[in-house]
Amino acid sequence: MTVIRTAAKGLPFALVAALAASLHPGSPAAAAAPSSPSPHGNLPSRSTPPQTTVVAPVVKTATPPTSYTVVSGDTVSGIAARFGLDVKTVLAANGLGWSSVIFPGQKLVLAPAAASPAPAPAPSTPASADRAYDVMSGDTLIGIAKKHGVSLDAILSANGLTRGSIIYPGQTIVIPGAAESSPAPAPAPAPAPATTPLTAEMRGNASTIVAVGRSIGVSDAALVVALAAAMQESSLRNIDHGDRDSLGLFQQRPSQGWGTAEQITDPTYAATAFFVGVQGKTLGLLDIDGWESMSVTQAAQAVQISAYPDAYGKWEASARAWLAEL
């Protein structure tokens, strides 16, 4: 062939072979030329595996009820443990102290603290020294806390008190780390303890007890004791009957020297007798040595000498609320 002879005369053999293959695609050279492989020509097809969704099991958390009715054999610590609550939280929510007594049928508020994000750390400030404060007439723990720029909880903790504790004039209170120039932010309000509302009759008798006490010059602590005692004895009603010859607001007995039936059923006389007693016959609250350091139950029982000595404490929270109203 002419082309081949020409190649033999001067063209490289590889170039000649390439030209021949392009002119004769069916030739062995063309067939032998490698072809570019398809990117996926020799790979087996793959199917995408199915996606599996894993659903986490839902765990139900038991939520304590908002209130609970006490049954026989219950204790505050037992109720708190049953619902996973802190005992101090239950005591504070109901205005109770460690020595308070609960009774079947009493309704308790259950107030577990709601989880909340941790607050940002407060900037450090120089520590302040504790100071002492002498309680004056009309003082309250929350009022003292606000006056000195500290939280109520800090004062309660520093003095071993609870929200239901009673303070009295002349008592010395420790003010922890008081800072005059930078009052601490007010704490979140605690759930209000369950209190018994006053009817018109109850309010009138409670007002008489408070007015008599004020005229004598007794402290708020004494007024709380008197209100709790009258609530336990007569539900703050001036009744003309009771156990044996017991009568009136405080269920005082003529046979025990408290006065005549007519006198005892006079709310003013009855309240006066509760505070100062009947000379030579009975002791009133102010005659009891050390009553100021007693619990409400102990102080009331010292005057009333009841067959149910632990029954008065359950009215402490209500008595404090009534006193604030009146």
- CATH number of the domain enclosing 103: 3.10.350.10
Average pLDDT over residues 35-46: 45
Q: Where are the alpha helices (DSSP H) in 194-284?
A: 200-216, 220-234, 261-264, 267-276
Same structural domain, 321 and 216: yes
Residue 175 pairs with which residues in a beta bridge?
131
Half-sphere CA count of 122, side-chain side, radius 13 A? 6
Same structural domain, 312 and 218: yes
The least confident of 187-196, 256-265, 282-291 is 187-196
Which pLDDT band, with edges at 50, 70 and 90, does 31 fall under? very low
| Final residue belonging to a domain, choices 51, 86, 109 | 109
Give 60 or 170, the one with higher predicted confidence.
Answer: 170
Same structural domain, 7 and 104: no
Answer yes or no: is pLDDT of 22 > 60. no
* pLDDT the model gives residue 47: 47
Count up the domains in the chain and report the number.
3
Per-chain mean pLDDT for the chain: 78
Give yes or no for a contact between 264 and 274, defined as CB atoms under 8 angstroms apart. Answer: no
Amino acid letter, 32: A
Alpha carbon distance 306, 324 (integer Å): 27
Same structural domain, 232 and 290: yes
Which pLDDT band, with edges at 50, 70 and 90, does 30 fall under? very low
CA angle 236, 105, 76 (to 5 degrees): 105
Same structural domain, 229 and 285: yes
Same structural domain, 26 and 71: no
Give per-residue burial for 84-96: e unless 16+ CB within 10 Å, then b: ebebebbbbbbbb
Average pLDDT over residues 74-79: 86
- Does residue 160 lie in a domain region? no
Same structural domain, 95 and 210: no
- Does residue 281 lie in a domain region? yes
Range of the domain at 18: 2-31
Which pLDDT band, with edges at 50, 70 and 90, does 8 fall under? very low
Which pLDDT band, with edges at 50, 70 and 90, does 185 fall under? low
* pLDDT the model gives residue 103: 78
- Does residue 149 lie in a domain region? no
- Does residue 119 lie in a domain region? no
Answer yes or no: is pLDDT of 24 > 90. no
The least confident of 81-90, 121-130, 191-200, 259-268 is 121-130
Give 33 or 143, the one with higher predicted confidence.
Answer: 143
Which pLDDT band, with edges at 50, 70 and 90, does 187 fall under? low
Bridging pattern class, strands 172-175 and 131-134: antiparallel
- Does residue 177 lie in a domain region? no
Give per-residue burial for 27-65: e unless 16+ CB within 10 Å, then b: eeeeeeeeeeeeeeeeeeeeeeeeeeeeeeeeeeeeebe
Q: What is the DSSP letter of 136?
A: -
* pLDDT the model gives residue 130: 77
Same structural domain, 318 and 206: yes
CA-based radius of gyration for the chain: 44
Which pLDDT band, with edges at 50, 70 and 90, does 257 fall under? very high
What pTM value is reported for the model?
0.44
The token pair at 122 is 């407060």
Half-sphere CA count of 239, side-chain side, radius 13 A? 16
- Does residue 318 lie in a domain region? yes
* pLDDT the model gives residue 193: 57
